[in-house]
């Protein structure tokens, strides 16, 4: 769910659904007062399960760092880890405990509009950057007040969409997939990434959000991932647009059975999530087993538990005053910016330096 009130505040619809236990996570709600208000409503629900709050904290929260492609140009994983540590400290001061980063898609087509959000075209550098970012956001324990859960995205091979067009198809050999495109995702998982986001694209004819080969065989069985899988925004509805599902009910069934734990969507009647709309009926009809639902619920609860939401559901409002836009944080951003500079043309013999 996302904020539905004026100026991004938690509106009456969100608060009502949270209090009724119909919301599990909230996207794009900012401001520690707003977040604590929504959490208060959630803890009045029957099971008292806290919300977890998420945002695209990609290259800074209040303090702005260089874009990820520029960060990668520093070739300095330690600096990148420090940057994301600052970002985590600032974002969690506002109550945000889950970021949709790092984006580790290998990108080799300049027409793709999201190239700046990743580390470029090289699997080795991309893997080093991916692991550094996970370490920065999460540290060794992301239940700590200044750490947050990270999300490796977009799984998988989103950067290889045909003609560089968003939501498009990807068609490639297994050899190229494993050697060129999967290493950065694997590195992030090995570094302990809490969550993985399924991508919009199809891979060899199967959309990622309903792809058991990606979400079960590779991610969980081969790599041993035991975290949470979240869809990209309304990606399950996109299964219908791809022609892979006949309607949203079948789309929900395909995604649930493929192992997609959380549907990222908006919890309002006009565009409600497919899981909310069709999940109970799919279980009753036997299209989705209760064992499968239990497994996916366990992954979601585990995310919240490891993020510290059960022990510390609220954020101390005073943290904002001394953890955001500090002189130390600004100095870190300036330092990375200096390291990220790239010489495009050796004009007037700037190099070699004397």
For the segment 2-11, what is each residue's pLDDT rounded down to a tens digit? 676 666 788 8
* For residues 12-29, average pLDDT: 92
Percent of the chain, pLDDT > 70? 96
Structure tokens, 2: 């996302």
Given a cut of 80, whether residue 255 has pLDDT beyond it is yes
The pLDDT of residue 273: 86
Given a cut of 60, whether residue 179 has pLDDT beyond it is yes
Rg (CA), the chain: 20
Catalytic residue (one of 83, 94, 105, 232): 232
DSSP string covering 255-310: HHHHT--B-----SGGG--HHHHHHHHHHHHTSS-HHHHHHHHHHHHHHHHHTTTT
Tens of pLDDT along 216-235? 999 999 999 999 999 999 99
The pLDDT of residue 354: 83
* For residues 188-192, average pLDDT: 98
Distance CA 297, CA 300 (A): 5
Distance CA 251, CA 258 (A): 11
* For residues 65-78, average pLDDT: 96
The residues, ordered by sequence, that sit 6+ positions from 77 with a Cβ below 8 Å of its Cβ are 128, 129, 131, 132
Given a cut of 90, whether residue 162 has pLDDT beyond it is yes
Of 147, 116, 125, nearest in space to 134 by CA: 147
CB 239 within 8 A of CB 254: yes
The pLDDT of residue 271: 57
- Residue 253 sits at φ, ψ, to 5 deg, of -65, -45
Q: At which residue do the structure tokens 């510390």 appear?
A: 312
The pLDDT of residue 302: 98
162: helix, coil or strand?
helix
* For residues 253-265, average pLDDT: 95
The pLDDT of residue 9: 81
221: helix, coil or strand?
helix
The pLDDT of residue 308: 98
Sheet strand arrangement including 228-230:
151-155, 195-198, 228-230
The pLDDT of residue 1: 67
Q: Mean pLDDT for the chain?
A: 95
CB 320 within 8 A of CB 89: no
- Least confident interval from 112-126, 239-253, 258-272, 334-348: 258-272
Given a cut of 90, whether residue 266 has pLDDT beyond it is no
Confidence bin at 104 (pLDDT 50/70/90): very high
Distance CA 87, CA 109 (A): 29
* For residues 38-61, average pLDDT: 97
* For residues 319-328, average pLDDT: 96
232 belongs to the catalytic site = yes
Given a cut of 90, whether residue 146 has pLDDT beyond it is yes
Percent of the chain, pLDDT > 90? 90
pTM reported for the whole predicted model: 0.94
């Amino acid at each position: 769910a996302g904020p539905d009130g004026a100026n991004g505040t938690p509106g009456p619809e969100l608060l009502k659904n949270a209090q009724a236990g119909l919301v599990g996570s909230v996207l794009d709600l900012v401001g520690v007062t707003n977040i604590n208000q929504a959490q208060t409503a959630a803890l009045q629900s029957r099971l008292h399960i806290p919300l977890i709050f998420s945002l695209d904290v990609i290259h800074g929260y209040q303090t702005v760092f260089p874009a990820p492609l520029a960060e990668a140009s520093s070739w300095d994983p330690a600096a990148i880890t420090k940057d994301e540590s600052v970002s985590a400290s600032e974002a969690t001061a506002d109550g945000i405990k889950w970021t949709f980063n790092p984006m580790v898609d290998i990108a080799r087509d300049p027409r793709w509009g999201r190239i700046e959000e990743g580390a470029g075209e090289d699997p080795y550098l991309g893997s080093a950057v991916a692991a550094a970012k996970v370490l920065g956001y999460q540290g060794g324990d992301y239940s700590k007040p200044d750490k947050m859960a990270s999300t490796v995205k977009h799984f998988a091979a989103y950067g290889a969409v045909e003609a560089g067009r968003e939501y498009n198809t990807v068609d490639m050999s297994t050899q190229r997939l494993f050697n060129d495109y999967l290493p950065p995702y694997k590195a992030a998982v090995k570094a302990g990434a809490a969550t993985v986001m399924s991508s919009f694209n199809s891979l060899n004819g199967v959309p990622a959000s309903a792809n058991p080969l990606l979400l079960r065989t590779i991610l969980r069985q081969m790599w041993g991932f035991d975290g949470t899988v979240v869809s990209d925004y309304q990606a399950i509805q996109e299964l219908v647009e791809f022609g892979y599902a006949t309607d949203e009910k079948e789309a929900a069934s395909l995604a649930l059975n493929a192992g997609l734990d959380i549907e990222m969507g908006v919890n309002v009647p006009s565009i409600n999530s497919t899981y909310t709309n069709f999940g109970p009926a799919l279980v009753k009809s036997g299209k989705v087993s209760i064992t499968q639902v239990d497994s996916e619920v366990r992954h979601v609860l585990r995310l919240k538990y490891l993020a510290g939401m059960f022990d510390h559901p609220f954020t101390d409002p005073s943290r904002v005053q001394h953890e955001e836009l500090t002189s130390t944080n600004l100095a870190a951003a300036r330092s990375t910016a200096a390291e990220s500079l790239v010489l495009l043309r050796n004009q007037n013999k700037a190099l070699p330096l004397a």
